[in-house]
Amino acid sequence: MRHWLLRRTLQAALTLAVAVVLLFLLTHLLPGDPLAREGAGRPLTSVQREALQARYGLDRPLLEQLGTFVGGLARGDLGVSIEYGRPVVGLLAERLPATALLGGTVLVLNFTVGLWLGVRQAVRKGSAEDRWLTTLSLAGYATPSFWLGLVLAGIVGVRWHLLPPAGMRDPLIAGGTLAAAADVLRHLVLPALTLSLVSIAGTMRYQRNAMLETLRLPYIVTARAKGLSERQVIWRHGWRNALFPVLTLFGLWLPILVSGSVFVETVFAWPGLGSLAAAAVNGRDYPLLMGASVLVATIVIVASLLSDVAYAFLDPRVRLS
């Protein structure tokens, strides 16, 4: 077990290293010019351009730039954003909490409501409820998040004035911490709902299938034959086992959440990493784009490592081997 954990961690580190190199190369392969927005609308003179290129190291060979980036990464320095003229680490740190709040909310909704609905569907397989939930979840899955976001913001936010359609805080709000928290919550509803609606379908589907597989197994018959209540049979004996495949999903699932949040944060002007990354792509802001990408890659790799560890911990067959 300890041996396995060590190997799995090393594997994660190696994955991250490969990801960093690939991201760097892909970022620099993007067509476009990181300096295009400099000069406030006037074309840069060749002297200005050369000075800026030297300042951001863009005149060096690509491999050397990669070396510089990796060296900085090791020291926790991700360079200076071309667009903002500030250290990338600071920019990311500012934006991380908003994304963590949005992503965390969506994740919690997925792993509570999504799993619960999936189990219900499996238990009531073939019923009208099952068929409706399948239809609805597939519709949600097929809906582009930016479109749904725009529609919700337009109808609920702009037309009905029920919830704020953009931003995270109302700058004019008065009152203490509680009022501020309530304000953030109100802003959170629409982006979180948008991302949840389009992502929960996958979780439900996955949980439904895993549960159907499990409910077919002989130990479920044993549990019933013992005289356990239906609730014990389904949740204790069934779901506990049907959770394993879904746990692995957690690792695979984060990237979808992150890329989804790029659109949703942009639509709702949510001040998170997603909208920052979108701006960085538009401006070809290499240092900022690299910083955001590496951060996301790290989160995804760590999450998948954690889900494997959780799996191993929950399954005695793995834990005790």
The binding site for other proteins (CB under 8 A) comprises 217-219, 221-229, 232, 237, 240-241, 314-317, 320
In the complex with other proteins, the residue whose CB is nearer, 189 or 228, is 228
How many Cβ atoms from other residues are within 10 Å of residue 137's Cβ? 22
Nearest-angstrom CA–CA distance, 5 and 129: 42
CB of 316 to other proteins, least distance (A): 4
Using the minimum distance from each CB to other proteins, give the nearer residue, 147 or 313.
313
Q: How far is the CB of 123 from other proteins (least distance, A)?
A: 11
Other C-beta atoms lying within 10 Å of the C-beta of residue 22: 12
Residue 111 CB, shortest distance to other proteins, in Å, is 19
How many Å apart are CA 119 and CA 124, to the nearest integer? 9
User: What b-and-e string marks burial along 72-85, b requiring 16 or more CB atoms within 10 Å of the CB?
Assistant: beeeeebbbbbbbe
* 41 or 227: CB nearest other proteins: 227
Helix axes 273-283, 286-314, angle to 10 degrees: 140
CB-count burial class (<10 Å; 0-12, 13-18, 19+) for 234: buried
Q: Minimal distance in Å, beta carbon 206 to other proteins?
A: 19
Looking at the Cβ atoms of 217 and 279, the one nearer to other proteins is: 217
Q: Is 185 helix (H, G, I), strand (E, B) or coil?
A: helix
Nearest-angstrom CA–CA distance, 205 and 134: 8
Instruction: Let me know if 104 is exposed, middle or buried by CB neighbors in 10 A (0-12, 13-18, 19+).
Output: exposed
Phi, psi for 80 (deg, rounded to 5): -115, 135
Backbone angles phi, psi at 153, to 5 degrees: -60, -40
Residue 208 C-beta: closest distance to other proteins, Å: 16
CA distance 219 to 233: 10
Pick 120 or 187: Cβ nearer other proteins: 120
Least distance between other proteins and beta carbon 119 (Å): 16
Nearer CB in complex with other proteins: 41/218: 218
Cβ proximity to other proteins, 205 vs 237, nearer residue: 237
Residue 1 CB, nearest distance to other proteins (Å)?
14
The nearest distance, CB 169 to other proteins, in angstroms, is 45
147 versus 219: smaller Cβ distance to other proteins: 219
Contacts of 164 (CB under 8 A, 6+ apart): 157, 170, 186, 187, 190
